[in-house]
Amino acid sequence: MAQKSWLFTSESVSEGHPDKVCDRISDTILDAFLSEDPNARVACETLTTTNHVSIAGEVRGPEHITRNVDDLVRAAVKDIGYEQDGFHWNTLKIVNRLHQQSADIAMGVDEGDKGEEGAGDQGIMFGYACNETEELMPAPILISHKILRLMAQARKSGKEPRLGPDSKSQVTLKYEDGKPVGVDAVVVSTQHREDVDQQTVRDMVLPFIQNAFPEGWRAPESRIFINPTGRFVIGGPDGDAGLTGRKIIVDTYGGAAPHGGGAFSGKDPTKVDRSAAYAARYLAKNVVAAGLADRCLIQLAYAIGMPEPVAVYVDTQGTGRVDEAQLGTVLREMVRLTPRGIRDRLDLLKPIYARTAAYGHFGREPDAEGGFGWEKTDLAGDLARHFGVRTSEAAE
């Protein structure tokens, strides 16, 4: 018998979390290459620890960017807000081990059949959408991100300078018959200035929590846990080492849907780990926006050097209004799912990636510079017309 009520939890981490510092640096370097050469190839990994950043990976593009990585790193860390003794943008040591892309990988990517680029690696990628929020995202991860984003905005604007860059949130929602109906618990841990006591931290953070929830929702104060271990002054890479790509569930759907094997940050769009995951989200979101399902999960699978996906899987999790096999066929006809097709459809060869490094790659508003183009629902009308489904039916 299907469970009719349950609790579900998702977490987020801020831009100052050690792993997110690494994601930001890797994506900043990617943006620098793409800003000068849209066809640059980048696979950049970052490690951070106390007053130290190491960069490694393979690139193909303007050599002067590789030589000037130090300036990119310091600018990214400064923007995040780290000026503490153990991690300061101006004094940290940087090791740069970027090198030229492997000729074997370049051959597989560049010499696909019929003039198409091959996938940069084998792999499986997932995209997901559901109609429980306006953004067509699972509510727990969306709210977790919003709490930290509100805190970061207040900190960086000077409205709340006592907060530090490093923070984490966790939101547990109550579900009834597949829909979120209320708040069960919220956990927030945040770095703070040394002269701030824990009651003051709680008083600072509570408004951000309550303002992150939809109108009419309120987290019970007895189920709000703020800095449950107490003092949190030393944070960021000074408190814990960080690595690119360790927060893939934070980056996607908060555990409400599967994630493929690869991370996103630091990878150019020939790497299907990134581009195909964006394409899968784009397709799933348009399916739900078209009223064809309340939930949609899409898996894409690729082989290195091969342009076309070796498999496309569509699962509407019992909420679909059309045949899933037919839906998969129509989606492949509407959107070319080769790396080049995805790149062209979503306009991915722009320096738009540093902004994705924190607060989620999905559920964000498309911007004027082309960022988050995979969040558009421009395919929904064609899908609805093809299947003869009115978008209003999604609410029935």
Apex 260 CA angle, 257 and 261, nearest 5: 140
The catalytically annotated residue of 15, 19, 23, 117 is 19
Q: Does the active-site annotation cover 58?
A: yes
247 is catalytic: yes
- Does 168 qualify as catalytic in the annotation? yes
CA torsion 374-375-377-380 (nearest 10°) is 70
Amino acid of residue 378: D
The response to whether 263 counts as a known ligand-binding position is yes
According to the annotation, is 17 in a ligand binding site? yes
* Catalytic residue chosen out of the listed positions 56, 75, 106, 241: 241
Q: Is 308 labelled as part of a ligand binding site? A: no
Q: Which of 155, 247, 361, 364 is catalytic?
A: 247
246 among annotated binding-site residues:
yes
**Which of 33, 232, 264, 362 is the catalytic position?**
232
Q: Kindly give, in sequence order, each residue whose CB lies less than 8 Å from that of residue 69, ignoring residues fewer than 6 positions away.
A: 29, 55, 94, 96, 98
Of residues 117, 160, 268, 273, which has the active-site annotation? 273
The answer to whether 20 is a known catalytic residue is yes
Task: Tell me, yes or no, if 17 is annotated catalytic.
Answer: yes
According to DSSP, the β-strands at 311-315 and 87-88 are unpaired
> Does 8 participate in catalysis according to the annotation?
no
Annotation says 240 is catalytic: yes
Q: Please tell me which residue in 24, 41, 246, 295 is annotated as part of the active site.
A: 246
Partnered with residue 53 across adjacent β-strands are: 48, 94
- 247 annotated ligand-binding residue: yes
- Check if 45 is active-site: yes
CB 209 within 8 A of CB 224: yes
Distances (CA, A) of 168 to 8, 97, 160, 205: 17, 30, 17, 12
Taking residue 378's Cβ as centre, other Cβ atoms within 10 Å add up to 12
Distance CA 44, CA 125 (A): 20
156 in catalytic set: no
- The reply to whether 232 sits in an annotated binding site is yes
Residue 177 labelled as part of a binding site:
no
Based on the residue annotation, tell me whether 78 is a catalytic residue of this protein: no
Residue of 8, 11, 15, 17 marked catalytic: 17
52 is known as an active-site residue = no
Active site residue: 45, 251, 294, 308, which one?
45
To the question of whether residue 240 is assigned a binding role by annotation, the answer is: yes
Q: Which of 8, 11, 15, 20 is catalytic?
A: 20
The answer to whether 271 is annotated as binding is yes
Q: Catalytic pick from 74, 145, 168, 285? A: 168
Question: Is residue 382 annotated as a catalytic residue, yes or no?
Answer: no
Query: Does 232 qualify as catalytic in the annotation?
Result: yes
19 is in an annotated binding site: yes
Residue 168 known to bind ligand: yes
- Which residue out of 70, 135, 240, 347 is catalytically annotated? 240
**Catalytic annotation present for 347:** no
Residues 198-237 as b or e (16 or more Cβ within 10 Å = b): eeebeebbbebbbebbeeeeebeeeebebbeeeebebbbb
| Given 41, 74, 267, 345, the catalytic residue | 267
Hunting for tokens 């709680």 — which residue is that?
A: 202
Residues 6+ apart with CB under 8 A from 348: 269, 275, 278, 342, 373
Give the separation between CA 379 and CA 393, rounded to whole angstroms. 17
Q: Say whether 101 counts as a known binding-site residue.
A: yes
238 contacts 87 by C-beta, under 8 angstroms: yes
Residue 268, annotated as binding a ligand: no
Residues annotated catalytic, as ranges: 17, 19-20, 45, 58, 168, 232, 240-241, 246-247, 267, 271, 273
Annotated binding residues for K(+), written as ranges, equal: 45
Annotated binding residues for L-methionine, written as ranges, equal: 58, 101, 240, 271
Annotated binding residues for ATP, written as ranges, equal: 17, 166-168, 231-232, 240, 246-247, 263, 267
Annotated binding residues for Mg(2+), written as ranges, equal: 19
Annotated binding residues, written as ranges, equal: 17, 19, 45, 58, 101, 166-168, 231-232, 240, 246-247, 263, 267, 271
